[in-house]
Amino acid sequence: MTDEAFWQLLGRTLEQPGDRDERAEWLTEELTRLPVAQITDFASRLSAVRLRADTWTMWGAARLIHEGWCTPETFWSFQLWLLTLGRETYDRVIAEPDALADVPRVRELAVRPMREWSDQDWPEWESLDYAAYEAHQEVTGKECGLEELGLPTVSAPADEQWDLADRGELGTRLPRLSALFPRPTD
C-alpha cells in the first residue's frame, strides 16, 4: 500500500457516517476486501505515521488540551486522532505542534471545559488502532497475526524528554496552544 493509498483510505473512512467506532468498523470491513499483504502494509504504515507524532512536544500539546493530564494510553489515542485532521494538517502539526492552535476542532475544545465535551469531541481515536488487526484476523483466521510485525505498542518519544508539568516550558514550546488552554496543568 502506497502512502497515497493509505491517506485515501483514511480519508474515505473519515467521510463515513457515524461515530469514530463506526468509522473504524467500516475501515475494518474495507480492509478485509484487500489482500493480506495490503492489510499488513496498512498496519505498518499506520504505525509509522503515528510514530511521527510521538514526541515530547506533542505529548505536551496533548497534556494542554486534556487540561493537564495525559496518560501513555491517552497520548497514543491522541496521536491516532491527529490523523482525523487530514494529511496536510497532520503534516503541519507534526512539523510544528503549536500549529494545533490553528485547528478549528482544537479551538472548539478550548472554549469549553472537558466536562462538557461529548464522547465524539474527545481528541482520541483508539478504535482506529484495531481495524487492521481485526481485518487481518478475519481474513487469515489467525488470532494476533499482526503482532508478528513487532509494531510499537506503547509510546516512546524519540526526542529529548522535558518536564511536561512545567507550565513555563509548555508556554515556551507551545505558546499559542498554551494561550488557548490557560488552565493549570498540575
Integer angstrom CA distances of residue 72 from 77, 103, 155: 9, 23, 6
Mean model confidence pLDDT for the chain = 92
Query: What pLDDT digit, counting tens, does each position of 161-185 carry?
Result: 999 989 899 999 999 999 999 865 4
Quote the pLDDT of residue 128. 96
Quote the pLDDT of residue 184. 55
CA–CA dist 50, 72 (Å, integer): 14
Quote the pLDDT of residue 179. 96
Query: What pLDDT digit, counting tens, does each position of 100-113 carry?
Result: 999 999 999 999 99
Quote the pLDDT of residue 174. 97
Query: Greatest CA separation found in the chain?
Result: 52
